[in-house]
A and B are shown apart, each in its own frame.
Chain A
């Protein structure tokens, strides 16, 4: 699938934003974070900024953005519509929670409830985003059990890395804030490794014979219907070279997981401070961008079977 920058940016940025929002909502409500107004402003500002920026970038790729309001109507059947509804609904408790934290300096009582609701909304929105991809049967790379936990875990992971980076200057990095990145990065790494192993060894594939309704015979393309790339090829025919993909997977292992895990362990042990936490957050976010690029670039669509792919 064509790795469109707007969609990669949207899913990475909003994933980190929702992860940060959910953790601040829960830890704030549990009084595990000080209700420091500047911490609230910086943290929730970053979270809502990432979410808003991501949403804007995703609506930029619509053909008719002026009709976007229609997208809230089909939540009965469409995960994209559910995502839109959940995203907008989450702004309500998140806005009130931010108002309480930054305006009143409080995260208890009713504000705690808004915190928990923001976390729930964030979780539902990211789950809906994941299901958009996980439900696409023509793309076996996405239509599997790894996509939903992946989006949830990767969002929480980048959120936890940013929370730790932001909490340090406010002396708010208690043990929970320092432990979370370690646990979440390790879990996310394990999941991504398992996912790649699964994708490389899938026994069942869609084949060109099945796509063409030819029960027997080896099939080879001799002519395409068009001399230049058409919409289907541009959107779904993208193919990353295997060697290139391998290099990028290695870079993802290092940037998204290994480096943030090592730095977070140092921070947890007290051997490093805010600088290391910030570096871990930057590396983790960049690494997630790479992961998302590969998520698209490595995915093969069934329609490519008509253009020479033997199996997807």
Chain B
């Protein structure tokens, strides 16, 4: 059914920290690794070793620079890596436009999924997603997208600590957090409140559940630029070794 369930009390989703994401593509890779054998797999690759490599991914990391160049503000100029996956929106038009009932939003936790046995590959849902989160699999003839690792987070064959999305578990800089954003006391909700989390393109009214934490303002060091001092105590018996090394 592509009519939406009443607002779900549980709103499972991700909080992504744009301050700490280093753009390593680890989450991209582990997402592909887990999900190609998962609920909505395979994540087909076409011409994987040829010149026109193309494939389905549920998670993509873009890189941007903010205020670059000479006219930029040195306090805010920086690089931002931006991971992009389905935001499991509260009011997702990708679901309501689907003519077949293949796209649906779960009433119990708000996860948005696609029934691969029902999708006719009309692609309309991908047009209705402002975030470009849905990718068509030309080999299967169906639409695919992030499942919020629905086959991990409830998976009782996994140790409890691993019942988290693959991208969250793998992130080396802990830039991804998973939890219930419908619960104001959850760790993710507190993080959002603390860091001024942003809803993407909120003016479109999709009510994205995933939230992005903007980069912290860097500001100059509190007591101005400092001279670098050589490491180690000055009376180090081997200090003469450092002297010929240019700094």
Contact of B99 with A by CB under 8 A: yes
Contact of A214 with B by CB under 8 A: yes
- The B-contacting residues of A in range 57-111, CB under 8 angstroms, are 61-65, 67-68, 70-74, 76-81, 84
- The A-contacting residues of B in range 115-166, CB under 8 angstroms, are 118-124, 126-132, 135-138, 140-143
Contact of B199 with A by CB under 8 A: yes
Give the number of A-B contacts (CB < 8 Å): 205
Of B56-64, B167-175, B176-184, B219-227, the one contacting chain A is: B56-64
Contact present for A64 and B119 (CB under 8 Å): yes
| Chain A 116-142 near chain B by CB (<8 Å), digits 1 or 0 | 000000000000000010011111000
Of A36-44, A163-171, A187-195, A221-229, the one contacting chain B is: A221-229
A139, B118: Cα distance in complex, Å: 26
Contact of A152 with B by CB under 8 A: no
Contact of B52 with A by CB under 8 A: yes
Contact present for A231 and B130 (CB under 8 Å): no
A208, B215: Cα distance in complex, Å: 16
Contact of A232 with B by CB under 8 A: yes
Q: Which residue of A lies closest to B131 (CB)?
A: A303
A223, B63: Cα distance in complex, Å: 5
Q: Which residue of A lies closest to B84 (CB)?
A: A306
> Per a CB cutoff under 8 Å, which of B76, B93, B135 touches A137?
B93
Residues of A within 8 A of B (CB-CB), count: 57
Nearest-neighbour CB distance to chain A for B229, whole angstroms, equals: 34
- The A-contacting residues of B in range 198-245, CB under 8 angstroms, are 198-206, 211-212, 214-215
Contact present for B118 and A67 (CB under 8 Å): yes
Contact of A247 with B by CB under 8 A: no
Contacts of B52 in A (CB 8 A): 228
Contact present for A80 and B80 (CB under 8 Å): no
Contact of A283 with B by CB under 8 A: no
A235, B215: Cα distance in complex, Å: 31
> Per a CB cutoff under 8 Å, which of B1, B54, B199 touches A213?
B199
> Per a CB cutoff under 8 Å, which of B3, B99, B132, B142 touches A303?
B132
| Chain B 187-199 near chain A by CB (<8 Å), digits 1 or 0 | 0000000000011
Contact present for B214 and A77 (CB under 8 Å): no
Contact of A1 with B by CB under 8 A: yes
Nearest-neighbour CB distance to chain A for B122, whole angstroms, equals: 6
A210, B54: Cα distance in complex, Å: 28
Contacts of A176 in B (CB 8 A): none
Contact present for A63 and B140 (CB under 8 Å): yes
Chain B facing A: main interface SS: loop
Nearest-neighbour CB distance to chain B for A228, whole angstroms, equals: 5
Nearest-neighbour CB distance to chain A for B199, whole angstroms, equals: 7
A302, B126: Cα distance in complex, Å: 11
Contact of A215 with B by CB under 8 A: yes
> Per a CB cutoff under 8 Å, which of A81, A210, A212 touches B82?
A212
Contacts of B3 in A (CB 8 A): 74, 76-77
Contact of A219 with B by CB under 8 A: yes
Contact present for B204 and A80 (CB under 8 Å): no
> Per a CB cutoff under 8 Å, which of A68, A81, A138, A217 touches B127?
A138
Contact present for A63 and B141 (CB under 8 Å): yes
Contact of B41 with A by CB under 8 A: no
Contact present for A136 and B127 (CB under 8 Å): yes
> Per a CB cutoff under 8 Å, which of B4, B61, B121, B131 touches A302?
B131
Contacts of B137 in A (CB 8 A): 63
A210, B28: Cα distance in complex, Å: 23
A307, B64: Cα distance in complex, Å: 10
Nearest-neighbour CB distance to chain A for B217, whole angstroms, equals: 9
Contact present for A78 and B99 (CB under 8 Å): yes
Nearest-neighbour CB distance to chain B for A248, whole angstroms, equals: 22
Contacts of A76 in B (CB 8 A): 2-3
Contact present for B100 and A137 (CB under 8 Å): no
> Per a CB cutoff under 8 Å, which of B25, B66, B204 touches A217?
B66
> Per a CB cutoff under 8 Å, which of A72, A80, A213, A235 touches B97?
A80
Contacts of B14 in A (CB 8 A): none
Contact of A242 with B by CB under 8 A: no
Contacts A211-B201, A217-B76, A230-B54 given; does A80 touch B99 at CB 8 Å: yes
A80, B128: Cα distance in complex, Å: 12
Instruction: Name B's A-contacting residues (CB within 8 A).
Output: 1-4, 18, 23, 25, 28, 52-57, 60-68, 72-73, 76, 79-80, 82, 84, 93, 95-102, 118-124, 126-132, 135-138, 140-143, 198-206, 211-212, 214-215
Nearest 7 A/B pairs, CB to CB: A63-B121, A63-B141, A303-B132, A213-B198, A223-B63, A225-B60, A81-B99
Listed by A's residue number, 18 A-B pairs whose Cβ atoms lie within 8 Å are A62-B120, A64-B121, A67-B118, A70-B100, A78-B99, A137-B204, A206-B204, A212-B64, A213-B212, A213-B214, A214-B66, A219-B65, A219-B66, A220-B64, A222-B64, A223-B62, A231-B135, A306-B62
Instruction: Name A's B-contacting residues (CB within 8 A).
Output: 1, 61-65, 67-68, 70-74, 76-81, 84, 132, 135-139, 206, 210-232, 235-236, 301-303, 306-307
Q: A61-B122, A303-B130 are in contact. List 7 more A-B contacts (CB 8 A).
A: A64-B120, A68-B120, A71-B100, A213-B198, A213-B200, A231-B126, A301-B132
